[in-house]
Amino acid sequence: MSTKIDRAFYDIGHLDILAEADTPLHRLDPRAKLLTTAVFVVCVVSFGKYEIAGLLPFFLYPAVVIGLAELPLSFLLRKLLLVSPFVIFIGIFNPWLDREVMVQLGPVGISGGWVSFASLLLRFSLTVGAALLLIATTGFGTICMALEQLGAPRVFTVQLLLLYRYLFVLIAESIRMMRAQSLRSFNAKGRISYRVFLQMLGNLLLRTIDRAQRIHMAMLSRAFTGEIRIVRQFSFGYKEACFLAGFGGLFLCLRLTDLTALLGSLVLGITG
């Protein structure tokens, strides 16, 4: 159990490690990347529930970002698979609720429920993947700073940043408690009884409250005023404008035109 928590702690912190790289994409102003991701997500979720072909060209953006930022594809895929059971649980009932056949592949008929389920998986992969790419190329603290610069209330951005940072404190306390319990337990299988689990949960709550108070006092003693400060300096310039205009225009073009149908008709016209 402790090993699994350690691995989860490393995976969460590894996104911030990836954000410290020095590639042309990492050096872009976070506001440009944040706005581009927002346009991407809006365009993807605006498709109908039976749309599949129109979503496929949008995978070009994650592929370009992963290549430019030199991100590990296997790590990002593991993060997607980690949260995929939630969307699978939501859409797995679609084939039973919508049984009308929409696509006929020879003797096999595919119902609208399966089509909508596949569309849901595609939109989930694109939107969650875009969010992971944004964090891996920008950093969560920098994203909060960009939100504040774009007009978001400072109270919201600071609370969002502290919530993210406090997650690491909570996981670290959990790791220490799980390690202490495993060293004092003679159960070879490493299982925790229900009574011991409740005691550890209550102790974790008391530990986190005490730790939060100490962190708050430390922040005040260091003259924290609520302003988010980062080491790397950014400025919105020509490169950021081209990045936002180029990808934003591409997303709108892919949303307003059926690129797959145009390519299909072009290929059929050439081969015919």
**Tokens 């389920």 correspond to what residue?**
117
> CB–CB of 244/36 below 8 Å?
yes
pLDDT of residue 134: 92
pLDDT confidence of residue 140: 86
Q: Which of 255, 226, 218, 261 is nearest to 144 (CA)?
A: 226
Residue 103 per-residue DSSP state: E
Per-residue pLDDT for 180 more than 80? Answer: no
The tokens describing 42, both together, are: 């809006």
What is the Cα–Cα distance from 215 to 218, expressed in whole angstroms?
5
pLDDT score of 256: 86
Query: For the segment 184-231, what is each residue's pLDDT rounded down to a tens digit?
Result: 766 555 566 777 777 778 888 888 778 778 887 888 887 777 777 776
Say what the alpha-carbon torsion angle 259, 262, 263, 268 is, to the nearest 10 degrees: 160
pLDDT number for residue 2: 47
Count of positions (residues) in the chain: 272
| Cα dihedral 83/54/41/150 (nearest 10) | 160
CA angle 15, 16, 17 (to 5 degrees): 90
